[in-house]
């Protein structure tokens, strides 16, 4: 699966269009998480010390797997569903736990792309 935002690798990054940004939301971090039969859940965070304000989550799955987003105890029954290739923005605080899960009966894999803005 390809990188959803055409960024090189995971980890730290900065906006690259025009002069360096200043002020609110001038820093970003990205990560990818693979969910499959061996790993059905992931905490969506790049760095616990990063002062994030918003996150953007996107998913991709060749098998059509739905990813459910929520807090620490999220389940497929109560999570926010993200369909493959869907993108959603959530306001969060630095210490907000966000977790992604897939249903236990899902075969295949889903890639979750995370962009944190701080």
In a domain, residue 81? The reply is yes
Q: Is 85 left (phi over 0), alpha (psi -120 to 50) or beta?
A: left
In a domain, residue 97? The reply is yes
Report the pLDDT value the prediction gives residue 15, as an integer from 0 to 100: 39
In a domain, residue 101? The reply is yes
In a domain, residue 75? The reply is yes
Q: What is the CATH number of the domain that holds 85?
A: 2.60.120
pLDDT in tens, 60-103: 998 999 999 999 999 999 999 999 999 999 999 878 899 999 99
Residues whose CB falls within 8 Å of the CB of residue 6, separated by 6 or more in sequence, listed in order: none
pLDDT in tens, 2-52: 444 444 444 444 434 444 445 556 688 999 999 999 999 999 988 878 888
Q: In three state form, how does the secondary structure of the chain look?
A: CCCCCCCCCCEEEECCCCCCCCCCCCEEEEEEEEECCCCCEEECCCCCCCCCCEEEEEEECCCCCCEEEECCCCCCCCCEEECCCCEEEEECCCCCCCEEECCCCCCCCEEEEEEEEC
Domain range holding 35?
11-117
Question: Which residue would you say has higher pLDDT here, 1 or 117?
Answer: 117
In a domain, residue 3? The reply is no
CA 19 and chain centroid, separation: 26
* Share above pLDDT 70 across residues of the chain, in percent, rounded to a whole number: 78
CA distances from 94 to 10, 38, 89 (A): 19, 28, 15
In a domain, residue 82? The reply is yes
- What is the domain count for the chain? 1
Give me the phi and psi of 55, to 5 degrees please: -130, 150
In a domain, residue 2? The reply is no
């Amino acid at each position: 699966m390809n990188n959803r935002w055409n960024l090189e690798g995971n980890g730290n990054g900065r906006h690259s269009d025009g002069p360096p940004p200043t002020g609110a939301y001038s820093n970003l971090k990205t990560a990818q998480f693979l969910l499959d039969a061996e790993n059905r859940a992931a905490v969506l965070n790049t760095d616990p010390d990063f002062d994030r304000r918003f996150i953007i989550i996107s998913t991709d799955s060749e098998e059509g797997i739905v990813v459910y987003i929520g807090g620490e105890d999220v389940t497929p029954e109560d999570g926010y569903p993200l369909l493959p290739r869907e993108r959603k923005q959530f306001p969060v605080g630095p210490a907000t736990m966000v977790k992604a899960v897939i249903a236990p009966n899902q075969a295949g894999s889903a890639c979750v792309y995370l962009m944190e803005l701080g």
